[in-house]
Chains A and B, each alone.
Chain A
């Protein structure tokens, strides 16, 4: 896991100070920031957030595990997101997902052993005209087929990563 950024209390100090003023209602926003910065919610961060915001750790944990946007496990440096919205589904996105999952050897929600790639799914990106859609690190790739997805993997996956 060489690629994970290290959790540093100092870095989220400002967030916490802001959160202290607003208590519970800033919990989501603070967790969203931490998730964005570290690509997961480190355990120490959850404990710290609870203490500083005055929110029970049980509540912080339940929020952290309830919403899809949060992860307690580190995510990969690169994120491949396959849209499984209805419009993409009727145009064959399941086959696209199956192929990518097969090639990477991981299931949706998992990360490759080297910490490079995470495979995710999303319920709709609202760009249905382009379906099926695969998003790699924020770049949309539309009108995917299983074969094109394989090509996309070969092009966009950084060197040295097994795919």
Chain B
């Protein structure tokens, strides 16, 4: 085992690794992210392993289970590098053909290629696929080139060079200056300038300082942090070690969400490897700088994404926030100055240090530099992780990258920022996205979760869903959040049940404004956003529920009825047999009828009918 004692030794190791890799020309990268694993990528990997050995090419091709390249919709993904031949939806039974044709004979397996939904054209190479064409994968790009459990993979791709540069050529002040100049803003969502935050913590009095990586990604629909910790944990570690050096901390913590076991596992392996190589621990790379990192597992509380609650949780208490000031940079973990940043913020650091602030700042808008990862999910053709320059428009994200809405349905809105964010409707699709524009539109950048909804989603019910979420996750410490969200939830529930009253909308607006102003922490201060933004853009839907007692999207159960179109019904009996409430009757080959008294509106008949004869109104 090599303990790297100097910068030169790191360079030497990297050169040796690169030379060794040059002997093997091709890399077969199987996505090992949670999404592809759930679709069976592990069995694809095993099949490739044995098939490559069978066909005698095991030593000519490198096989790797890599991090996530983002295009979850089409998993399991297999990418063959360096050409970037892109196979999607690969199953274990496809593997013998893939190996024989592509790896042995150098031909393309047509059936595994991506098919463009619009043109029907098959596309062979990753860079030509529209999903990737507009992306700028600074943070995610390395994911599909390395095995996240291998530190040598990361080093051979230039990993830890930024750390080495920082430790040997830059003072801590230089590092902070570079991060400040780069214009990096907190990627957790609030957008506070990172360099400034670091400087405050560095200048805070005290010998003991801590840094924390917030990997408690609780926003439903967002999974970029997971993809990064799972897919390239060393990049995160490198960012943390550089940050520790700049801030003057001796210890760092990564708070990982309990629901992400693979991320915690890969991160744990990365920490052990970094220690072995002398990149963590005492006297890192011979610089005299001592630093170590520990993992803390969360236990399923959304509020722990809030920084003061997160620190309370690390200290072994309930995750309840406390008022600020004092800010963590003055008094944080165990009362010591503490700098907290999100996974993506830390992972940006090596890029800034290595390439320089000026190069980093070339991407982005006037006020917000760099790239931003969005998870584009919901009613969208190309679900996945998308990394684009800040300032890209929503339309580009939803239609060019995301491929539009499936099933010929109409786009209705995109919800950004999760339970703290808001909905943005069609008319603002051309807005370039940055921190300020989103806030002006009543949403927020947040972690970058972006849920697309179509005409079938009722915006009142959608708002109710988020309110239900925050109400359950409210820690209960402050009254506006604990009781205010409950009151809002009660009104919203009543509206979706067809018992709305005139004045409800005004009441929600007033209460929402008060909760925003008077709640203790970010959870409460942003909790009304999903409601306020849907009222702002979809007030007509609220009014239809309240005044007309109808749900325009046909989604709210108490406001809809199921019936059967006698013209279309063939009397096949499928629905009749499966109806759990026995509410359907009718003779064979005669039109069936639904008994409204018995109907529980479960939707089974709608799902089953092959003749579109079930009508919801």
A and B associate in one complex:
yes
Interface SS of A by simple majority: helix
Chain B residue, CB-CB nearest to A139:
B38
Q: How far is the CA of A59 from the CA of B466 in the complex (A)?
A: 30
Q: If the complex has contacts A86-B465, A128-B375, are A27 and B301 also in contact, measured as CB distance less than 8 A?
A: no
With contact pairs A24-B316, A87-B451 given, residues A129 and B72 touching in the complex (Cβ less than 8 Å) = yes
**Which B residue's beta carbon lies closest to that of A133?**
B38
Within 8 A of A (CB), among B333-368: none
Which of A29, A66, A99, A129 contacts B319, CB < 8 Å? A66
Tell me if A122 is interfacial: C-beta within 8 Å of chain B. yes
Residue B296 contacts which of A28, A59, A86 (CB distance < 8 angstroms)? A28
Closest to A130 in B: B38
Q: Determine if B457 is an interface residue (Cβ-Cβ < 8 Å).
A: yes
Contact indicator B580/A102 (Cβ below 8 Å): yes
Q: A95-B603, A122-B259 are in contact. Are A68 and B383 (CB under 8 A)?
A: no
Please report the number of residue pairs spanning A and B whose Cβ atoms sit closer than 8 angstroms: 143
Decide if B607 touches A146 in the complex (CB within 8 Å). Answer: yes
The docked-state distance in angstroms from the alpha carbon of A125 to that of B259 is 7
How many residues of chain B are within 8 Å of chain A by beta carbon?
58
Interface residues of B in 271-325 (CB under 8 A from A): 296-302, 313-319
A55 at interface, CB cutoff 8 A? yes
Say yes or no for B326: interface residue by CB 8 A criterion.
no
- B298 vs chain A, min Cβ distance (A): 8
User: Is the C-beta of B371 less than 8 angstroms from some C-beta in chain A?
Assistant: no
Residues of B within 8 Å of A157, CB to CB, are: none
CB-CB under 8 A from A23, the residues of chain B are: 316
The answer to whether B223 and A124 have CB atoms under 8 Å apart is yes
How many interface residues does chain A have, given as a range?
Answer: 35 or more
* Contact among A32, A63, A125 with B34 in the assembled complex (CB-CB below 8 Å): A125
When C-beta atoms are compared, the residue in chain A nearest to B225 turns out to be A126
Cβ of A78 under 8 Å from chain B: no
In the complex, the chain A residue whose C-beta lies closest to that of B603 is: A95
Residues of A contacting B35 with CB < 8 Å?
A: 126-130
Q: Please report the C-alpha to C-alpha distance between residue A128 and residue B374 in the assembled complex, in whole angstroms.
A: 13
A-B contact pairs, 23 of them (CB 8 A): A27-B316, A29-B297, A31-B299, A63-B317, A67-B300, A67-B318, A86-B418, A86-B465, A87-B451, A102-B580, A123-B218, A123-B259, A124-B220, A127-B34, A127-B72, A128-B72, A128-B377, A128-B383, A129-B384, A133-B38, A140-B37, A140-B38, A145-B607
Q: Told that A28-B299, A95-B603, A127-B223 touch, could you supply 13 new A-B pairs with CB distance under 8 A?
A: A32-B299, A59-B317, A62-B318, A68-B300, A69-B300, A87-B220, A124-B259, A125-B259, A126-B226, A126-B227, A128-B221, A140-B37, A146-B603
Nearest 10 interchain pairs by C-beta = A126-B223, A68-B300, A140-B38, A67-B299, A85-B220, A129-B72, A124-B220, A129-B383, A24-B316, A128-B377
Q: Which residues of B contact A (CB under 8 A)?
A: 34-35, 37-39, 72-73, 75, 217-223, 226-227, 258-260, 296-302, 313-319, 375, 377-379, 383-384, 415, 418, 449, 451, 453, 457, 462, 465-466, 469, 475, 578, 580, 602-604, 607-608
